[in-house]
Structure 1
């Protein structure tokens, strides 16, 4: 299900959060689908259950999952907004990069070439 990269400088719980968010964004985890229990996920990844609990708590704070006492954790119906939020963040980052490129004298045509992968100068 998930993969942990021990060479990654980020804490393990952040990697778990990012991977689950990616799975939600790409439709691998559908709305109202149940996530593995904390213990089950911890056993699968050979990590401390507290790490998974922290990841699940962070995902719940972000509105990606919700918990049902005694039943487990499920993908939130609000998780669809996650994709829109990511797109919005990407748009903001691209806008900032485009402004910086223009300040450096890069033309709009060159920016379009870079974004589309066209032309010689990639």
Structure 2
């Protein structure tokens, strides 16, 4: 499985946190399966022109929480078994972002239907392969 990372150097979120949060979401959402190998520290750092220590820090944090495991001679992989029983669900991971977006919508004076319509459009833009009715249960 080829893992994809969207690293935004100018973001207020530190790069190592971007890597950590994206991997958590990919595992929780099923895009990464147990045993999937991660890009090497060097490869990911070169691909995104970031410091290898930044990637190493992210991988180490995820290894400490049991999401990743180090494989001798191979590198890092998604852990076959989670060492933590409190693994967050996809909805638990998304909720803080949606709360922040809801707060911003309120501050901007947007009504709920406008905000929901905008969110539905953002979902369609992010998932062009899944052309669905925004009101359908799986959207």
Structure 2: tracts of 5 or more residues without a match: 96-139
Counterpart residue number, 1:30: 33
Deviation readout 1:3-55 (Å, 9 max, x if unpaired): 11233222110110001111111111110111111111111111011110000
Q: Indicate yes or no: 2:59 matched with 1:51.
A: no
* CA distance in 1 between partners of 2:66 and 2:54 (Å): 19
* CA distance in 2 between partners of 1:6 and 1:38 (Å): 17
CA contact (8 A) 2:65 2:84 kept: no
* CA distance in 1 between partners of 2:63 and 2:84 (Å): 14
Count the aligned residue pairs.
92
Q: CA RMSD in A?
A: 2.9
Question: Partner of 2:30: helix, strand, or coil?
Answer: coil
Counterpart residue number, 1:113: none
Deviation readout 1:43-71 (Å, 9 max, x if unpaired): 11110111100000001011100001221
Counterpart residue number, 1:111: none
Counterpart residue number, 1:60: 63
Question: Partner of 1:50: helix, strand, or coil?
Answer: helix
* CA distance in 2 between partners of 1:81 and 1:57 (Å): 15
CA contact (8 A) 2:66 2:83 kept: no
1:13–1:33 distance in 2 versus 1, CA, 3 Å:
same
Q: TM-score, normalised by structure 2?
A: 0.57
C-alpha deviation, 1:79, in angstroms: 4.0
